Amino acid sequence: MANPLSRPTYKDFTAKAPDVYAGLGALTKAVDAAGLDKGLTELVKLRASQLNGCAFCLKFHLGVARKAGVSEAKLDLLAAWRDAELFSAREKAALDFAEALTLLDGEPASDEAWARLREEFSESEALYLTVTIAGINAWNRIGMAFKFAPPV
């Protein structure tokens, strides 16, 4: 009998739920195809992953962010982005909205957070940023539920 406390690994998840894996991947592909800056979307994914405490997603998206050209200074200061002057107004609006959607506390994202986002992003861009944030929150919850080990 299998150990009831054992959890699927990332490899198990992708093999046993290939349609779910492909569906989550399709969200990323759709956002990338929409033309949002990859560095920006990776900052958003990293911030949500920090808030959720998902080590697997943090490790994975740090690598993607570096490949997308996000500076080490921004990666170093992401947890304190509000106090760091090196983030652009667009990045700050996106990070603010990412926090609003990640830390819902049973309430919808505030009108203020949406307004700040819309000051910097078109309706279409805001839509795709919202999909980005929803997608990484789904990944964070899956990774944390199964205790995925960070990639090496």
- Domain locations in the chain? 21-145
What pLDDT score does 121 carry?
A: 98
d(CA 146, CA 13): 9
pLDDT of residue 75: 98
Band of residue 133 on the pLDDT scale cut at 50, 70, 90: very high
8 Å CB contact between 42 and 61: yes
Domain spanning 21-145: CATH 1.20.1290.10: yes
For residues 120-130, average pLDDT: 97
Structure tokens at 80: 């304190």
How big, in percent rounded to 5, are the helix, strand and coil portions of the chain? 75, 0, 25
How many beta carbons lie within 10 A of that of residue 56, not counting itself? 20
- Report field, pTM of the whole predicted structure over 0.75: yes
Whole-angstrom Cα Rg for the chain:
16
